């Protein structure tokens, strides 16, 4: 009788495990589709990467993508620790991130206008690559939309009666991978215009246009995160 009870209990637990796995699998594909649709929607990251790659070249764009990917990974970790939820649900913290992100974009626009972010030709040194990585990292950390994704969208695709940590890690990794892949495509396409933009007298004109467009992206950032 005891053996039958243990077997029944084991079968029940096994059945629950299969059910949970099916639930997780059923939610995974919709999450991937949702993530792709969100990333295909034009936003400040996309616009900034396109401008950077077209004016600074694909190496700078790739460094910026690495910074953005690192920022997303940090936000995923912060979400797991509850920090992203605090930022997304606190009006003050959310506004602080919005204005800090816009201010950083405006600062980059001013640097570009006065010539401190010259359009580079030829080899780009390690210092320049580190700078573009830092810009991508900071812009993404100061983007409240990314924090909101990890707080409001991602939890909707987690099965609550199954271990949450492995699901969170898997979905977060998938989101970072999809976003990074799309950002790399944007960089590769936008960089095709780099050669034309940096020939002769076009360089200074492109720098000024880039500065104005960056300022417009800053305003777009504020509007899109309102």
Encode pLDDT of 128-156 as tens digits. Answer: 888 899 999 988 888 777 777 887 788 78
Question: Is the pLDDT higher at 224 or at 173?
Answer: 173
In terms of C-beta density within 10 A (0-12 exposed, 13-18 middle, 19 or more buried), how is residue 85 classed?
Answer: middle
Distance CA 110, CA 214 (A): 9
Tens digits of residue pLDDT in 190-215? 888 777 766 666 667 777 777 787 78
Domain residue limits, the chain = 47-224
Tens digits of residue pLDDT in 1-43? 554 455 544 545 454 545 456 666 777 888 888 888 888 877 7
pLDDT for residue 4? 46
CB of 44 closer than 8 Å to CB of 224 = yes
Q: Which two tokens stand for residue 176?
A: 């970072």
Of the candidates 84, 108, 87, 82, the one whose C-alpha atom is nearest the C-alpha of residue 97 is 87
Assign 121 a pLDDT band (cuts: 50, 70, 90): very low
CB of 113 closer than 8 Å to CB of 208 = yes
Q: Which two tokens stand for residue 197?
A: 């933009």
The average confidence (pLDDT) of the chain is 76
Distance CA 226, CA 224 (A): 6
Q: What angle do CA 226, 134, 216 make, to 5 degrees?
A: 40
Question: Is the pLDDT higher at 65 or at 107?
Answer: 65
pLDDT for residue 122? 43
Q: Which of helix, strand or coil describes residue 194?
A: helix
Distance CA 118, CA 204 (A): 8
| Residue 193 DSSP class | G
Q: Please tell me which of 78-82, 118-122, 168-172, 217-221 the model is most confident about, judged by mean pLDDT.
A: 168-172
Q: Which two tokens stand for residue 92?
A: 């003050």
Distance CA 171, CA 165 (A): 10
Q: Which two tokens stand for residue 86?
A: 């605090």
pLDDT at residue 178 tops 50: yes
Q: Which two tokens stand for residue 60?
A: 């700078």
How many C-beta neighbours within 10 Å does residue 78 have? Answer: 19
Tens digits of residue pLDDT in 45-84? 788 888 888 888 888 899 999 999 999 998 888 777 765 5
pLDDT for residue 158? 80
């Amino acid at each position: 009788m005891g053996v039958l009870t243990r077997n029944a209990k084991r079968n029940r637990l096994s059945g629950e495990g299969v059910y949970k796995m099916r639930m997780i699998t059923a939610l995974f594909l919709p999450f991937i589709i949702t993530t792709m649709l969100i990333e295909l929607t034009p936003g400040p990251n996309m616009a900034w990467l396109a401008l950077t790659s077209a004016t600074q070249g694909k190496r700078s764009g790739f460094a910026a993508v690495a910074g953005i990917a690192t920022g997303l990974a940090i936000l995923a970790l912060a979400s797991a620790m509850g920090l992203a939820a605090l930022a997304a649900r606190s009006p003050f913290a959310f506004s602080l991130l919005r204005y800090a992100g816009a201010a950083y974009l405006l600062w980059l626009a001013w640097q570009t206008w006065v010539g401190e972010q010259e359009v580079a030709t030829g080899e780009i040194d390690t210092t320049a690559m580190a700078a573009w990585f830092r810009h991508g990292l900071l812009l993404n950390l100061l983007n409240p939309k990314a924090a909101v994704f990890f707080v409001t969208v991602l939890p909707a695709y987690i099965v609550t009666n199954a271990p949450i940590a492995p699901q969170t890690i898997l979905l977060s990794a998938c989101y970072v991978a999809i976003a990074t892949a799309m950002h790399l495509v944007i960089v590769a396409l936008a960089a095709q215009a780099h050669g034309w933009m940096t020939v002769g007298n076009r360089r200074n004109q492109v720098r000024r246009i880039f500065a104005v467009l960056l300022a417009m992206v800053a305003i777009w950032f504020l509007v899109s995160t309102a």
